[in-house]
Amino acid sequence: MMRADSQLFPLMERIGVRHLHVGAESGSQRILDLMQKGIKVEQTIEVNKRLSKFPFIIPTYNFFSGVPTETKEDIKCSTNLIMRLIKDNSRCLITAYNQFTPYPGTTLFDLTLKHGLKAPQRLEEWISFDQSGFAHQSPWLTKWQKELLDMLYVTTLFIDNKIESLFVSRKLRYKILRLISILYRPLARLRLKYHITFFFIEGRVRRLLKGNG
């Protein structure tokens, strides 16, 4: 998208493009280089600013954390970038702050093996490789880091307008979900911005809804 000329985005609007999913992944250049992403943090910021000029195109950014060697400062770079993207383009969405989930054949998978991951030996064991909760299977993460990543996953679901824009049904449960999203958003942004994990009852509610107790 950095190479796109001035005619591409207007053309995309005219032919009906409404969402662009962008793999921002991290706000830390060190982590981007580690995963061999091949982009610069500044490019994500620039693309987002360009897309803010086209009201019919909603950029949706993906992020994840939990990579071996990732530090608190690296994660802070990512949450700062998320807040920057929302500030520069109020229509942009954050899919979720997923938890790094390694898969065979990648450089990062080999790195996780060096940091204590026991690779599944049977096909059924891969079922537990879930991007919403893999941090709890990552031996290189501390208890605090796991709690932080749980908090970031939940809060990013509510820090923007995706609940209101994607769940438009008039059924009562969706009306309640939209109301919860609006009311919870200020707290979600506060938690994400300052990495506040204290009294994180939202995580408990999520586990109950998933049936994990």
pLDDT digits (tens, 9 = 90+) for 157-202: 999 999 999 899 999 999 999 999 999 999 999 999 999 999 999 8
CB 61 within 8 A of CB 95: yes
Q: Identify whether 141 is part of a domain.
A: yes
Q: What mean pLDDT do residues 79-86 have?
A: 98
pLDDT of residue 158: 95
Of 25-29, 116-120, 178-182, 204-208, the one with minimum mean pLDDT is: 204-208
Q: Identify whether 121 is part of a domain.
A: yes
Q: b or e along 123-160 (b: 16 or more beta carbons within 10 Å of the residue's beta carbon)?
A: eeeeeeeebbbbbebbebbeeebbbbbbbbbbbbbbbb
CB 62 within 8 A of CB 25: yes
| C-alpha closest to that of 210 among 136, 122, 102 | 136
Token pair of 188 as six digits? 């979600």
Amino acid code (one letter) for 108:
L
Q: Does the pLDDT value for residue 6 go beyond 90?
A: no
Q: Identify whether 80 is part of a domain.
A: yes
Is residue 86 left, alpha or beta, with left meaning phi > 0 and alpha meaning psi from -120 to 50?
alpha
For residues 25, 150, 157, 44, the Cα torsion angle rounded to the nearest 10 degrees is -20
Number of domains in the chain: 1
The enclosing domain of 35 has a CATH number of: 3.30.750.200
Q: Identify whether 9 is part of a domain.
A: no
As to burial, measured by CB atoms within 10 angstroms (0-12 exposed, 13-18 middle, 19+ buried), residue 37 is middle
Neighbours of 14 (CB within 10 A): 9
Q: What mean pLDDT do residues 7-16 have?
A: 95
Query: Residue 68 and residue 66: Cα distance in Å, rounded?
Result: 6
Residue with tokens 């060697």: 69
pLDDT of residue 39: 97
Q: Identify whether 146 is part of a domain.
A: yes
Query: Residue 9 and residue 1: Cα distance in Å, rounded?
Result: 9
Q: Identify whether 169 is part of a domain.
A: yes
Token pair of 203 as six digits? 């995580």
Query: Residue 206 and residue 178: Cα distance in Å, rounded?
Result: 16
pLDDT digits (tens, 9 = 90+) for 103-154: 998 889 999 999 999 999 999 999 888 888 899 999 999 999 999 999 999 9
Residue with tokens 């608190």: 72
Q: Identify whether 148 is part of a domain.
A: yes
205 pLDDT band, cuts 50/70/90, is confident
Q: Does the pLDDT value for residue 211 go beyond 70?
A: no
Domain that holds residue 41: 16-210
Q: Identify whether 5 is part of a domain.
A: no
